[in-house]
Structure 1
Amino acid sequence: MKVVIIGGAGGIGSSAAFNLLSAQGTYEIVLVDTRPNMITSHTMDLENALGLATTADVVRGGTPEDAVDADVVVLSAAVPLRLNSSRSVFLADNARIVADCLRPLREAGDAFGGVVLLLTNPVDPLTTWTHRQDWLPRHRLIGYTLNDSLRLRTGIALALGVPAKDVDAWMLGEHGEGQVPLYSRVTVRGEPVELTTEQRHKAEEYADTWYTKHVALDSGRTSTWTTGLGTARLIEAMATGSDTVLPASVVLEGEYGVHGVSLTVPVRLGPKGVTHIERWDLPGHELDGMGKAAARVETAVSELPVDTTRHTS
């Protein structure tokens, strides 16, 4: 599987490349970025790590044209992180970057048959907006949002005093303020658990405030390790067709009562992207949360022009 990582010189892109070295499957990893010296530095380092890798055959630098025949294009390019309280502040600037980076694929037409895995934030509006350009079917356009569920699991683990690896919990909806925690599906070591109001509050406080607390550190870095590992796990699921159910943002066509907007839902992945969207029975308040999240994303997308050519130079 050929994986092209656009933004490969950055922390998340290089972390994804590193984590693919130990993922199941066989990969040709191509790093693309506007910083050639950083790409050379990463590839010089990673090509030595290939001696310890279990799967990857090649790690090299490349150009945007490499993406046209890729099986998976990971787009992690974005404007530099700065102090903020919401990912939405990056919408207009990152839309221009997404349009620029995806232009070669759009212009390639049917020559591009791969999957786009979008990491750039705010991911739900950008995934929705990209899909509305009408050149990429929804099953081949996936927004990365696994971190929300991981943070909920960590918050629940802290509230219950158990290891996070023993907790299974899901955060659906928007990657942001419109996230929807599924307390109806929490399990610990495979057994259903009903959280108390206090435990829910503690878990939500952790998940809801993680982003603002982390950005407030002004470290200049984002969730490098989590997103890199999570991205590798999604690509691994595509490469192996493992049928594992994972959270991802995809454009919905009636699932969960949402039409034409990308939100996080449980999906199964294969070599050509989303193979199935799980339709879980949600309680009324969780389903209402999905509707509210969709309205928030729709409002954000309405701020962007339909024609991406207005965003490019």
Structure 2
Amino acid sequence: MNKIIVIGNGDVGSSYSFALMAQGLGSDVGIIDLDSDKVAGDVQDLTHGLAYVGPKNIYSAEYSDCFQADLVVITAGAAQKENETRLDLVKRNARIIKSIVTSVMDNGFDGIFLIASNPVDVLTHYVKELTGFPSRKVIGSGTSLDSARLRSAVGEKFQIDPRDVNIYILGEHGDTQFPVWSHGNIGGLKITEWLTQHPEFSQEDLLTLSENVKNAAYEIINYKGSTHYGIAIALARITQAILQDENAVLPVSVHLEGQYENSDVCIGSNAVLNREGVREIIEIPLDEDEMTKMQHSIQTLKQMQQTVLEDDS
């Protein structure tokens, strides 16, 4: 049985539950939220689609249901406000996360945590500190959505299927993220080679795309108040890699242990994911500019981590 507990049934949590349903992921999905009526409604609504996707147990869960769960996915937290950075959320959401994690651990959970609450890198590190779990069992959504956004943007610009665009964004899921152009490729061509063969495009076009991706969340929030479909699909992809033991490479928030010349920080990096969680972190050899950006991102997150730990003491 692949048992998933979703904690938080707001826009992200409910979209994630729907993505699990539509993709046939998890045989047992429990949803926890303070708004029990909304959970009850969503459970009933989702259950009505089972005839088209196959058997699945979807239910309103309690924290006691975390016992023997394979995966606990935390999407709960205060919403990001207009013109508010993800890092501005840290103290508010850290208190929420601590209460949730304490309740999960009190009920004997020993599976894998997947964190989507923002700021995701800081809160992923905080969950690791709270639980004492090994690094492989605490994963954040990291730059999975940002990388997907960039691949989609590049694909649209160059009229290429985004699944054939292999470019990753690393670092913070937020303002200090950066694309790794030095290792990006399209159909086996390095980005520089692609530009040489397509002179109608320039490096400036790529910079514009990456800036648009970095600011995408702010734009979507201005339009409709929150982002949730994209991250829900990214979370479902991570879930699939874990539960189906894929050994898939995805850009997620992981705990560095010497990679990129740093330790004791969670940050977006490529990693191999399987049933055990993080099998290994893939350290991409960055060029000088990219390494400078990675170090800046790391230091930004370490400062925020320290703020959380000081506030918690």
1:180–1:80 CA distance, 2 compared to 1 (3 A): closer
Match for residue 149 of structure 2 among 146, 151, 164: 151
Partner of 1:211: 217
Distance in 2 between residues matched to 1:26 and 1:143, nearest whole Å: 19
CA apart distance, 1:307:
7.6
**What secondary structure does 1:30 align onto?**
strand
**What secondary structure does 1:252 align onto?**
strand
Partner of 1:67: 66
CA apart distance, 1:25:
5.3
Amino-acid identity (%):
26
Partner of 2:296: 292
Is 2:234 the counterpart of 1:230? yes
Superposed counterparts of 1:26-105, under 5 Å: 26-54=26-54, 57-105=56-104
CA apart distance, 1:24:
5.9
Partner of 1:118: 115
**What secondary structure does 1:178 align onto?**
coil
Q: Is the deviation greater in 157-166 or in 84-93?
A: 157-166
Amino acid paired to 2:219: K
Aligned length, in residue pairs: 303
Distance in 2 between residues matched to 1:270 and 1:163, nearest whole Å: 26
Contact 1:132/1:306 (<8 A) preserved: no
Distance in 2 between residues matched to 1:181 and 1:12, nearest whole Å: 25
CA apart distance, 1:263:
0.6
CA apart distance, 1:190:
3.8
5+ residue gaps, structure 1, are: none
Match for residue 132 of structure 1 among 129, 132, 143: 129
Superposed counterparts of 1:165-176, under 5 Å: 165-176=163-174
5+ residue gaps, structure 2, are: 196-201
Distance in 1 between residues matched to 2:280 and 2:89, nearest whole Å: 31
CA apart distance, 1:180:
2.1
Match for residue 262 of structure 2 among 255, 258, 261: 258
Distance in 2 between residues matched to 1:52 and 1:62, nearest whole Å: 23
Partner of 2:105: 106
- TM-score with structure 2 length normalisation? 0.90
1:50–1:19 CA distance, 2 compared to 1 (3 A): same
Distance in 2 between residues matched to 1:249 and 1:173, nearest whole Å: 9
Distance in 2 between residues matched to 1:225 and 1:189, nearest whole Å: 27
Aligned-CA RMSD value: 1.9
CA apart distance, 1:93:
0.7
1:275–1:24 CA distance, 2 compared to 1 (3 A): farther
